[in-house]
């Protein structure tokens, strides 16, 4: 299942910061994860409060973008030799927090799949 792939692969990447294009790919993926986490939380909250699925459709679109940026980021990692830069630890920690928030939303929606009929499912 796509959600389980994301849940485990987001947290399994090792901390590294990459030269130019790799760094840009990480930043794009980190931004996509943060946005998807925020939209996922809104989706669940809005749906639970009102039954409205509009936010969930927006979240699903953001989740699909996250999958796309993750694939691109992993392709860049495969082509390069990462250099560890401890000065970027805070950025990595923020990414991990957002990834965990996103994973919680993914797991909640998967557990309540009948309530969240999203197009990407």
Identify whether 70 is part of a domain: yes
Return the higher-pLDDT residue of 79 and 30: 30
Helix axes 54-79, 20-50, angle to 10 degrees: 160
Q: What is the pLDDT of residues 64-75, one digit of tens each?
A: 888 888 877 766
Give the predicted TM-score (pTM) of the model.
0.70
Cα–Cα distance measured from residue 63 to residue 51, given in angstroms and rounded to the nearest whole number: 20
Identify whether 14 is part of a domain: no
Alpha helices in 1-120 (DSSP H): 2-12, 20-50, 54-79, 89-111
Tally of domains within the chain: 1
Q: What is the pLDDT of residues 52-110, one digit of tens each?
A: 888 888 998 998 888 888 877 766 665 655 544 434 778 888 888 999 999 999 898 88
Cα–Cα distance measured from residue 33 to residue 27, given in angstroms and rounded to the nearest whole number: 10
Residue 83 half-sphere exposure, CB side, CA atoms within 13 Å? 7
Question: Which domain, by its residues, includes 95?
Answer: 19-80+88-115
Identify whether 2 is part of a domain: no
Which one-letter DSSP state was computed for residue 113?
Answer: G
């Amino acid at each position: 299942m796509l959600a389980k792939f994301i849940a485990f692969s987001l947290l399994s990447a090792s901390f590294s910061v990459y030269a130019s294009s790799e760094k840009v790919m990480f930043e794009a993926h980190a931004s996509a994860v943060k946005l998807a986490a925020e939209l996922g939380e809104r989706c669940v909250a809005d749906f639970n409060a009102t039954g409205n699925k509009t936010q969930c459709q927006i979240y699903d679109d953001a989740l699909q973008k996250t999958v796309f940026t993750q694939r691109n980021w992993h392709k860049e990692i495969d082509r390069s030799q990462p250099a560890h830069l401890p000065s970027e630890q805070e950025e990595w920690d923020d990414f991990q927090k957002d990834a965990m928030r996103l994973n919680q939303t993914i797991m909640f929606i998967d557990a309540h799949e009948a309530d969240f009929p999203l197009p990407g499912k």
